[in-house]
Amino acid sequence: MILLENILIIILKKKPSIIRSNRTSIAILNGGENKKDLSSLASDVFLYFGLGCRNVTKLYIPKGYDIKQLEPYFHYYINNSSNKNYFDNYLYNKTILKLSKQKFYDFKNILLLNSVKLHPPIAVLYYEFYNKIEEINFNKDKVQCIVSNNAIQFKSTSFGECQSPKLNDYADNIDTISFLTS
C-alpha cells in the first residue's frame, strides 16, 4: 500500500494543479455609504453565516466612523442567531472576549472587534480604522473580494455583490477554464 501511495505522489507531482488557499473578503468604507450600501454590506457579511471566501470578515473604516450605525442593518440578519451552531459560536466568542476584557461591540447577532487580523472566528467581524485610504494594508493573497464604492487603488466589488461573482470572476483570480483546456 505504501509503495502505491509513493508512486501516486511521484506521478501527481508532475501534473499541474490548482490548489486553493483559505481566503476571505474585506470591505472598505469611506463614511459616505447610503442605506442601500449598508444593507447590502450586511448581506455580504451574513449570507452563508459568514463562512464563504466571498463573505466580508473585515471592515476598514475611517477614523471617527460610528460603528453603531451599522447595527440596524446587521439586525436584519438576527435570525442567524436562531441557528444553534451559529448562536453557540456567538456565545462562546462573546464569553472569551468578556473574560479577556477586550472591548467589542455586541449587535446581538455578531460581535465587532478591532483587530489587524483578517480571519475572525464565526460570529465575529473584525474592523480596523484608517486615516487615509492609501494607508490601508493587507495581504492581497489572502483576500478574495474587496467591497467598496470608491476603493481607488483596489479592484473592488459593489456592496451586496460579493456572493454574485461575474462569469470571469475566477476563484483566487485563476482562470479555471484556461487551466482545464491547457
Query: The C-alpha cell of 105 is what?
Result: 461591540
Helix (H) or strand (E) holding 62: strand 56-62
**pLDDT score recorded for residue 150:** 75
The CATH number given to 22-181 is: 3.40.309
pLDDT tens, per residue, the chain with 182 residues: 567 777 767 776 776 766 656 778 999 999 999 999 999 999 999 988 877 777 999 999 999 999 999 999 999 988 888 899 999 999 999 999 999 999 999 999 999 999 999 999 999 999 999 998 888 888 777 788 889 987 566 778 888 887 766 666 666 566 666 666 77
Domain positions in the chain: 22-181
Q: What is the pTM of this model?
A: 0.82
Cβ neighbours around 149 below 10 Å, total = 16
Q: What is the 8-class DSSP label of residue 63?
A: T
Residue 68 φ/ψ, nearest 5 degrees: -60, -20
> Cα 162 to the chain's mean position, in Å?
9
Q: Which residues contact 13 (CB under 8 A, 6 or more apart)?
A: none
Instruction: Specify burial of residue 81 (Cβ count, 10 A radius: 0-12, 13-18, 19+).
Output: middle
**pLDDT score recorded for residue 175:** 62
**pLDDT score recorded for residue 117:** 95
| 145 in Cβ contact with 58 (< 8 Å) | no
- Separation between Cα atoms, residue 158 and residue 67, nearest integer Å: 20
